[in-house]
Amino acid sequence: MKTVFRSIAIASVASVAFMAPAHADEKADIAKATADYSYVQGFLIANRLKGSLAKDKIDNKAFATGVNDALTSKSKFTEEQMKKIITAGPVHLRAEKEKKKMENTAYLAAHKKKDGVKTTASGLMYSIIKSGPADGKSPSASDTVIVHYTGTLTNGKKFDSSVDRGSPATFPVNRVIPGWTEVLQLMKPGDKWAVVIPSDLGYGARGAGGLIGPNEILRFDVELIEIKK
């Protein structure tokens, strides 16, 4: 009987001895699978952001630290500090913004001195190319108008033109950029004006797609054809 119990005990010890390495391998496999999955998740998230991060010239090491701090719920900055940093934008873009601001200021100052240019309280500038009937009525913000126009940047690059399309545009006066809303309410049917719209009355810092960059001054030849009834 003792021999039988001894054989069982030996078998049990042997079984445990063989199971231990298998258990360690299983843990190693789980750890590797978790690491692989975590890596791929990080890779895919970063890959989706890659274009934006490259545009902002992100410091990869600092970015990785920020991600890790977010995952561990800690931060080297307060929420208010982070808002200010994000609002200020990437360092290389701050210099570009300042340069653009100086260029815009110089352009508007020079244009303002040209003969026939009138400047409104908002900074909008216009000069008259031709005038419609003097007894015409200006549209209100709630009116819909029909206009022909050609838009260019200060470097002369054309970005839009109803004239080139051969068909005038129709839209509500209050559904366009602020500079358009303002100037249309000063015009009368038959008027054609050359208009210069400062960036804050146009598309501002956001720009408009790939054609109009951030903080661009816009130039338009605008002809008010009709106030739609």
Query: Which one of the listed residues 126, 191, 203, 227 is annotated catalytic?
Result: 203
Q: What is the DSSP letter of 114?
A: S
- The Cα 31–Cα 19 span in angstroms is 19
Q: Is 159 a known active-site residue?
A: yes
Query: Which one of the listed residues 191, 212, 217, 220 is annotated catalytic?
Result: 220
Q: Is 220 a known active-site residue?
A: yes
Query: Which one of the listed residues 56, 58, 107, 159 is annotated catalytic?
Result: 159
Q: Nearest 5°: CA angle at 216, between 210 and 217?
A: 135
Query: Which one of the listed residues 126, 149, 191, 225 is annotated catalytic?
Result: 149
Q: Is 217 a known active-site residue?
A: no
Query: Which one of the listed residues 143, 160, 200, 221 is annotated catalytic?
Result: 160
Q: Nearest 5°: CA angle at 8, between 21 and 10?
A: 50
Q: Is 149 a known active-site residue?
A: yes
- The Cα 27–Cα 88 span in angstroms is 47
* Residues forming beta bridges with residue 228, ordered by sequence position: 144
Query: Which one of the listed residues 56, 58, 146, 177 is annotated catalytic?
Result: 177
Q: Is 177 a known active-site residue?
A: yes
Cβ-based neighbour number of residue 22 at 10 Å: 8
Q: Is 63 a known active-site residue?
A: no
Nearest residue to 71 (alpha-carbon basis) of 63, 79, 60: 63
Q: How would DSSP label each residue in 57-91?
A: T--HHHHHHHHHHHHTT--SS-HHHHHHHHHH--H
Active site residues: 149, 159-160, 177, 203, 220
